[in-house]
A and B are shown apart, each in its own frame.
Chain A
Amino acid sequence: MLNSLLRAIEKLGLSKNEIVMVSGIGCSSRISGYVDFHTLHTIHGRALAFATGVKLSRPELNLIVPMGDGDALAIGGNHFIHAARRNIDITAIVMNNRIYGMTGGQYSPLSGYGTLATTAPYTNIDQDFDVVELSIASGASFVARTTTYHVQQMADIIRKAILHKGFSVVEILSQCPTYFGRKNKAGNAVDMLESYKTNTTSIGSKAKKENPELIERGIFAQKEIPEYCNEYNKIIKKAMKGHS
């Protein structure tokens, strides 16, 4: 993910000073420690709240928020849906490994029915979210999904997500061989990437019609609707009329 993100940023020609990466807590969130942008390593589930504050005070900067599925959609679920609803210009990247990696393999809202986790030794009975559908329903104006196998598509989607003016969600199916893989007999990192190759397909492909079980990849939503910082600015101007 870091690899494709860096290539996307290189292609956009953004300078390090134009980027703020805000993350929470989790294996995925450690990514902010590996880059030389402006970075904020904040608290679990709250990265989007911190990012909202940064964006409102410095709207000219590009905000990128990498999150784990637990970070984004368990503890951070409320921040997630409301940031999407406001359509604030932030790029949210959900590295969906379907488990709490950092804390030892507890199930997450993305694990899905019938999976195994350290906290679901007799199989998980919770249904999972569909990150794409949830994001669209919450109002995100750019929503996409890809996998760590599809690295060219990933770099391309992340680039478009950063360019998009509004709340962008990129879900990236990501391997956690250590916990999800081992618990669910999904094999090692290579096997998990192989499964992304065989179990996914482009949106609306012929393969999807023949096998509805396949997970679709690509850009599901891309629309122009009023962006939050722009609207906020208009309100400030309205309120200041006659005061300066």
Chain B
Amino acid sequence: MGKPKLKEHIINREWCKGCGICVHFCPKNVLELDEEEKVFAHQKENCICCRLCEFRCPDLAIEVVCEEKTARGK
């Protein structure tokens, strides 16, 4: 079992209220709010797929999609 690898962040811009909880508590500073106060992933490459942003979002506005890398690198 390898580390999970990020596929994408699915962000529901209509539901995001810009509270900044996911941004502040992301351990890798992956997320930021844009000029419309909506979240976006500005440093995707640093994401460790912990999914804490998804779990903490009060409005279910962000989802982290990951792929499990196997030992053989598939």
Q: Are A190 and B56 in contact (CB under 8 A)?
A: no
A205: chain B residues within 8 A (beta carbon): none
Q: Are B21 and A7 in contact (CB under 8 A)?
A: no
Assess A151 versus B52: contact at CB under 8 Å? Given A2-B60, A3-B60, A189-B19: yes
Report if B24 contacts A (CB, 8 A). yes
A149: chain B residues within 8 A (beta carbon): 25, 56
Report if A221 contacts B (CB, 8 A). no
Q: Are B24 and A190 in contact (CB under 8 A)?
A: yes
Assess A3 versus B24: contact at CB under 8 Å? Given A151-B52, A190-B19: no
A7: chain B residues within 8 A (beta carbon): 55
Report if B4 contacts A (CB, 8 A). no
Distance between B12 CB and nearest chain A CB, rounded to angstroms: 13
Assess A148 versus B19: contact at CB under 8 Å? Given A190-B24, A193-B25: no
Q: Are A190 and B20 in contact (CB under 8 A)?
A: yes
Instruction: Give residues of chain A (1-46) contacting chain B, Cβ–Cβ below 8 Å.
Output: 1-4, 6-7
B54: chain A residues within 8 A (beta carbon): 3
Assess A3 versus B57: contact at CB under 8 Å? Given A151-B52, A193-B25: yes
Distance between A6 CB and nearest chain B CB, rounded to angstroms: 8
Which residue among A6, A151, A155, A188 has the maximum number of chain B CB atoms within 10 Å of its CB? Answer: A151
Closest to B55 in A: A151
| Bound complex: CA A112 to CA B4 (Å) | 45
| Bound complex: CA A56 to CA B51 (Å) | 39
Report if A152 contacts B (CB, 8 A). yes
Closest to A191 in B: B24
Mask for A83-110, Cβ within 8 A of B = 1, else 0?
0000000000000000000000000000
Report if B27 contacts A (CB, 8 A). no
| Bound complex: CA A194 to CA B56 (Å) | 13
A188: chain B residues within 8 A (beta carbon): 19-20
